[in-house]
Structures are given as structure tokens and as C-alpha cells.
Structure 1
Amino acid sequence: MAPSTSQLYHHLLLFFLVFLFHAQQCPAAGGSWSVLLPSIGISAMHAQLLPNDRVVMYDRTDFGVSNISLPNGACRPNTTDCSAHSVEYDVASNTVRPLMVLSNVWCSSGTLMPDGRLVQTGGFDDGYRVVRIYKSCDSCDWQEIRNGLNQQRWYATNHILPDGRQIIIGGRRAFSYEFYPKMSATENTPSLPFLVQTNDPNVENNLYPFVFLYPDGNLFIFANNRAILFDYSNNQVIKTYPTMPDGQPRSYPSTGSAVLLPLRITKGTVNAVEVLVCGGAPKGAFVNANKGIFDGALDTCGRIKISDPNPQWVMETMPLARVMGDMLLLPNAHVLIINGVSAGVAGWELGRNPVLSPVVYQPDKQVGSRFEVQNPSTIPRVYHSTAVLLRDGRVLVGGSNPHDKYEFGNVLYPTELSLEAYSPSYLDSNSSDLRPKIILPVKNTKIGYGKQLVIVFTVSGIVDPSSVSVTMMAPPFNTHSFSMNQRLLVLDGGVAAKILGKSRYQVVVTTPPSGNVAPAGNYLLYVVHKEIPSPGIWVQMQ
């Protein structure tokens, strides 16, 4: 029976209202893409921004030759492989320099140390227990310590600690943690039963756990679908958080991502501590993907205020389902979700349907209006892709190799050797007159804890002094959809005041109160005006 005119009208009205609702939920926003280099010679599986605006990247050593040669005819010892498996990318010159890495860095982890060295740990096979150190200079290369770890670490997570050491947690069949550097040659390796409790022997859905330093010096650790607050000094669980309401796994290989939301400091105290976990793959997806059945990725995020006496997860729905996505904090305190696929899981050949559009999450908006879909790339970034925030506010995107070798043809998703830059909408040219530029302090200024810091900046357009904030970003180590050590601080400060001429202003802020809130090391300092950040400057917290 044909519908009446009235029924058609109501159907059309309902369709329009549904469309309008969804348009309000996830409006298309901005952002732009550019290819920086068509090939860097390797597929960037791991990446770390260094305090001299270079990015060290590496892949693995056991798949054969890469597409970039080692310099001066060098070859890896005891092999016929004369190609590089690590490179250093210079942002300013847009060039790469090949590096010599000896042991297998596949699925390893790392931390930028307070002195600016990248200390990188673990990997596969001959790299299981290796510690590698990279200090950047024009002729520097990797240095390796063959038995620097007590246990084999493959798919582990590292985090810098307030005492300047790093903790290395978990890994495949490694239900423990250890530290680097060691306090002594006999330093033990404490067990961590939480990693046993969250381990599925058939899937191992607790690899690359999400780890964040809580402002009291303890660690928030999330694995699979559960989380604890952990006192690593006394090997004691301080608090057990509720399981995520949907019970779905979020850790590798059901790879979601997570961030510690920006820490806002007022009168020397962090107001609230929240964690956001987004995406992943449902239970059974790993087994199904190995059978050629690619389940749809999760489209949910869980947000929890871990500083509450009785914290509970609040679930939100993303506009795009995503597994193997990267979550990056932006200088204006928004969260970028980028890379990944909408079906399958992490692993060789196990992902399908790339998600080309990033999404921005705005934590301070109301539930239901926090997500904005951004303009898409044209390059799939699937398994083994990376994303790193640069000092100028762009996001460096590289990698994507879902095969156990380099495959450039006759495959669904060819190995990707290119580097792209994603420019968030705050870099649009129509915002240039609102964009601050920091004049003082100068780069590499050393700053102490709980001190007054005077910042002088210029803005060419009209300034709203009440809409100025100052943020500090710890540059993270990125691999496998998680940025280790990622941390954004919104500093306590007054209203910006004009001091010289029509375009020069100053704002006085208080630096972080302690190493529990901001471990010593290199940070990017930004002035943000109307949600538009300045280019960052490097400062040293000490």
C-alpha cells in the first residue's frame, strides 16, 4: 500500500531532524594536509620529537633491506644488509639522515630523558633486552647496551619518572616492570599481577598498556578493559578502577588509544585528573580477523575522572569508529584522533577500511558536541603508522606497513614510506592575525618549579586578554597508537596585559609545582590566544 502524502511528509521531516542532529554532533571542520617527502626510505613505526626539532624514526631490522642506504658504504655487522632501518628527520630542512641501528627494534618502546637523549628499550629477538641511546647531532648515531634490561621486553610501555629514571612496564609474556638506568647491578624486577589478570592467553589483549604519571607520583595503568593506580616504589595497588562499562578490550592488538587530558594547575594544585580512552576492537575480533572476518571497530570513548573519590566511566560516541588510531594532545588543549582503520585489529594483514579523516575532541564542551570531523588525507595510515606533534603546531604523520616485509604492489595497503604534515585548523591563514609569537623567554631557558615566569608575546590583531592561556607539552614517544609520556599542562596565570606598542603583551604564569606534575626535562611552551597557539619554544624544566 503506497504511503499517504501525510506519511511522506512525516518521513521526510524525521529524516531531516535525524540529519540535523548528526550534523550538530559531528560537523565537518578544517585542517589541511601536505606531503613533506614522498619517501624517507623506511616505514616510520616508531617516532620521537627531539629538543632540536629533529624526529628520530625507525622500523625493524629483520625484514630485509630498506629503501635508504647507510652512508659511506657501511653495512650492518655480520650481514649483507647495507641499508638503514632508522633515520633522523630534520624539520627545518625537510631532509632525512640514515642511522645505524644494530639490534632489532621491532615493537619496542622509549622515553626522552631529561638531558635530551632518547633512551629506547627492548624489541624482538636479538633486541629483547637491549637498551639503545640516541643523542642528536649532525654525526651522532645509536649506541647500544646489549643486556641493559633484566627481562625481555617486546610490546612494553615506558614512562619517565619524577626521579629522572624511566620505568618499563610489561611486554609479551613479561608480567613485571623494571627501571632504567639501574640503581645497582642487582636491582630486581618486581612482578605486576595486574598484567596477569588482564592477560587473555589466546589474544594477549594487554600489550602496550596505557600508562600515565598521576600528580601524586603514582602511575595510572590501563590494560585490556581495566585500570589501577599503582605505587611502583612499594609494588602496591593503591586503587582499582571500575571496568569500562562495555567490557571491550582497548589494548594491543584490539588497539585503541588513550590520553591523560590536559592538567590545569591552580594555586599549585591540579584541579582534576582525567583519562580518555577511545576506539579499539570488540571481543573476538582478533580471532575473527585471522579467519578473514573483519569486525567493525569500536566507536566509543570512555572518560574517567581518576581524581574523584568514586570515579566512574562516562561513555561517549565518536563520529567515526576507529582501531589503531593515534590520540595526540594539541597545544590548545584539544585532542586529535588520527590514523587507523574502521574494521579488524592490529597485526599483519588484519585491518580493513582506513579512516582517512581525523577527529578533534574538545574536552571542555558538553557531551554530544565535543567531536569535530576534520578534512581527510588521501594516504591510508594503517598498522604501524605514527603521528607526532611538531613545535610549529603541525602533526607529522608517517609509516603504515601492514605486511611482514616491504610490499609496494599487488597488496591491499602498500607499505608507506612517505611523510605528511597535518595542519590543524588553528594554522589556517585566516587566523594569522590572532596567532601569538613568543618573544621571551628565549629557547632552552631553564625554569624551576613553582616559580613566576614572565612571557612576552606579540599578536598582530586585536587581543582579548581574558582568552590567553599558557600550555606546556612533554614531547612523547609514539608507536602502535600510543604516545608514551604525553602530557599537557595548562599553567596558572593572570590576564595578559599590553606592555609595549600596539602588539606586544606579557603574561605572568606560575611554573608547575613539582616533578610529580611535570618531570624534569624538555617541554614545548605555547601561548594560546582564542584557542590558537603560538609556535612553541623549548624550555627545560629542572
Structure 2
Amino acid sequence: MYPFLHLLADGSLFVFVSKSSELFDVSTNTTLKTFPDLPGDYRTYPNTGGSVLLPLSSTTNWTADIMICGGGAYQDITSPTDASCGRISPFAADPAWEMDSMPEGRTMVEGTLLPDGTVIWLNGASQGAQGFGLARDPALEALIYDPTAALGKRWTTGASTTIPRLYHSVALLLLDGRVMIAGSNPVEQPILLPDAENPYVTEFRVETYTPPYLAGENLNKRPTNVQLSMTSLTANSQTFTVSFTVPSGAQGAKVSLYH
């Protein structure tokens, strides 16, 4: 139930469930390739972790890398959560999982791509599983992953929230580069006030998270006056230009396209 799915450039689907994965051709209803099992605990429902297709880059000839983090051992509030992450290139000659680890174990964690090429992991819990009343010890810190850094040096910890975000929470990138965080209904029917039986209640508050590239000195390093020569872009090999004003002392610029 509820597999992780990623659409790849050749039209195939990367399908992952539990610990196993494959490339699937929708047009012929056939499996194209089967991958080794991902080490660690279970990664999909009810021990749901998170999964992202990492940013595609011209510097790596648009190589597709898929990352899966978190999960747990069994569907119970006492289940420990998994801190490990696996990363795989489906089109490699001999695909294999490269293992890494988050700073802490998490279930129901949301991975969101950021325009600077990093991935922010938010929400979830450090104990339990997906479902009503099945998680505790909420994970409150923002974890930031840099896919281009050396293995073992890719994770940093960002700001913390005070709001538990458990079952059915979400994190979405906004057009201004911030992240909107919402949701959490860890009880089947709405409960507004916590009690001994239900310490985590239905959450209606919405937060916005400001990533490091929008804070402090980084604001002065960003290009201004950004303009596109056209705003109707079609995948037909056409070209367009991006013009902008370079900040004083800038050493380079990067353009990210986000659908």
C-alpha cells in the first residue's frame, strides 16, 4: 500500500515499497529492472519514511538519483524509527544503494526540494508509525541535506518548531522560496485540547519556514531584477534567456527551474 513513485525522464516509473524497488513500464505493463533491497527497516506504510527524486543538474548530465529516508520496524507506538537513508541511480550500469544517515530516526517525514539544490526534511516522529494514535516524540527540527557534499557531511540541522506534525502533515515550497508547513491529525476525530489519552491533537495552524538562503547575509548575495525572455516554456529544445543584476562581489550564479 502507498508505494513511493517517481516518474523518470524515459517515461518509466521507479516504484518502491517496503524495502524493494523496480523500474516499471506503464505502456507495456512490464518490469524493466529490479533493484537490490534497501537495507534497514520498512520504509512505506505503515512505517512510512520519505522519498525524493533529487534535483536534476546539467553538471551530472541530468542523472536521476532517488533518495529514501526513515521508516520503522513495525506498526506500533513503541516502534523505533530508522535514521538511515538510501540513495540510488536507477540508470547506472550496476545500481546499488549508497547508505547515509539522518541526525535522528523519523517516521512520516516530508522531503521537499529547495531551489538552492538542497532538500529539507520536516515533520514526523521519532517513535511509532503512521496512523491514528500510533506516534509520539514528535520530530521538531528541520534537517537539510546537500546532495553535492561529501558522504558523511551532507546533513545540517536547521531551526526547530514547537508544533508537532504527525499523521497527515505536509511541507510545500512556496513561490517566494519559503516552505509552508501544515497539518497533523493524529486522532481519528478532531480534538482541540490535549489530554492524557490524546497528547497530540488535530492541528489547524500553518507555519512558514525561512531557509538559510533567505536569511541574514545570504539575502545580499542573491541576484536582483530577475527577468525571463519568455514565460511559456515547452519541452521542445527551444532556448530562452534569464537576465539579472549581479550583487557586488558575486563569484557565480546558478539557475534552478522548479515545476
Q: What TM-score do the two structures reach when normalised by structure 1?
A: 0.46
Q: Distance in 2 between matches of 1:271 and 1:394?
A: 25
Would you say the 8 A contact 1:209–1:223 is kept in 2?
yes
Confirm whether residue 439 of structure 1 aligns to residue 226 of structure 2.
yes
Which structure 2 residues correspond to residues 364-443 of structure 1 after superposition, within 5 A?
364-409=148-193, 410=195, 411-441=198-228
1:355 counterpart letter in structure 2: A
Q: Equivalent residue for 2:26?
A: 232
Q: Equivalent residue for 1:259?
A: 52
Q: Distance in 1 between matches of 2:105 and 2:51?
A: 15
Q: Distance in 2 between matches of 1:338 and 1:469?
A: 25
Q: Equivalent residue for 1:468?
A: 253
Pick from 54, 57, 69 the counterpart of residue 278 of structure 1.
69
Q: CA deviation at 1:265?
A: 3.0
Q: CA deviation at 1:452?
A: 2.0
Q: Distance in 2 between matches of 1:456 and 1:436?
A: 9
Computing the radius of gyration from Cα coordinates, the structure with the larger value is 1
Q: Deviations over 1:93-123 (max 9, x none)?
A: xxxxxxxxxxxxxxxxxxxxxxxxxxxxxxx
Q: CA deviation at 1:470?
A: 1.3
Q: Distance in 1 between matches of 2:226 and 2:98?
A: 41
Pick from 1, 4, 15 the counterpart of residue 221 of structure 1.
15
Q: Distance in 2 between matches of 1:302 and 1:429?
A: 33
Which sections of structure 1, spanning at least 5 residues, go unmatched?
A: 1-206, 475-542
The alpha-carbon distance between structure 1 residues 405 and 355, as it changes in their structure 2 partners (threshold 3 A), is same
Q: Deviations over 1:220-276 (max 9, x none)?
A: 111111111011000010000111123x2101111101011111236xx94422110
Q: Equivalent residue for 1:186?
A: none
Would you say the 8 A contact 1:438–1:455 is kept in 2?
no
Give the SS at the match of 1:301: strand
The alpha-carbon distance between structure 1 residues 393 and 443, as it changes in their structure 2 partners (threshold 3 A), is farther
The alpha-carbon distance between structure 1 residues 330 and 322, as it changes in their structure 2 partners (threshold 3 A), is same
Q: CA deviation at 1:209?
A: 1.1
Q: Distance in 2 between matches of 1:279 and 1:448?
A: 34
| Aligned CA-pair RMSD | 1.6
Q: Equivalent residue for 1:300?
A: 84
2:153 counterpart letter in structure 1: S
Q: Which has the higher contact order (CA 8 A, sep 6+)?
A: 1
Give the SS at the match of 1:386: strand
The alpha-carbon distance between structure 1 residues 325 and 433, as it changes in their structure 2 partners (threshold 3 A), is same
2:207 counterpart letter in structure 1: E
Give the SS at the match of 1:374: strand
2:248 counterpart letter in structure 1: G
Would you say the 8 A contact 2:118–2:144 is kept in 1?
yes
Q: CA deviation at 1:318?
A: 1.1
Q: Distance in 1 between matches of 2:25 and 2:173?
A: 30
The alpha-carbon distance between structure 1 residues 231 and 438, as it changes in their structure 2 partners (threshold 3 A), is farther
Would you say the 8 A contact 2:83–2:101 is kept in 1?
yes
Q: Distance in 1 between matches of 2:224 and 2:4?
A: 34
Which structure 2 residues correspond to residues 99-498 of structure 1 after superposition, within 5 A?
207-246=1-40, 248-265=41-58, 270-282=61-73, 285-286=74-75, 288-289=76-77, 294-409=78-193, 410=195, 411-441=198-228, 444-464=231-251, 467-474=252-259
Which structure 2 residues correspond to residues 34-73 of structure 1 after superposition, within 5 A?
none
Q: CA deviation at 1:347?
A: 0.2
Q: Distance in 1 between matches of 2:98 and 2:12?
A: 23
Would you say the 8 A contact 2:87–2:98 is kept in 1?
yes
Q: Deviations over 1:187-230 (max 9, x none)?
A: xxxxxxxxxxxxxxxxxxxx221111121111111111111101
Q: CA deviation at 1:421?
A: 0.2
Give the SS at the match of 2:220: helix
The alpha-carbon distance between structure 1 residues 414 and 317, as it changes in their structure 2 partners (threshold 3 A), is same
Q: Distance in 2 between matches of 1:241 and 1:310?
A: 9
Q: CA deviation at 1:438?
A: 4.8
Q: Distance in 2 between matches of 1:275 and 1:249?
A: 17
Q: Distance in 2 between matches of 1:359 and 1:257?
A: 13
1:250 counterpart letter in structure 2: R
Which sections of structure 2, spanning at least 5 residues, go unmatched?
A: none
Would you say the 8 A contact 1:298–1:321 is kept in 2?
yes
Give the SS at the match of 1:263: coil
Identity over the aligned pairs, expressed in percent? 36
Q: Distance in 2 between matches of 1:451 and 1:380?
A: 46
Q: CA deviation at 1:391?
A: 0.8
Q: CA deviation at 1:448?
A: 4.5
Q: Comparing both structures, which one devotes a greater share of its residues to helix?
A: 1
Would you say the 8 A contact 1:244–1:313 is kept in 2?
yes
Q: Distance in 2 between matches of 1:385 and 1:312?
A: 31
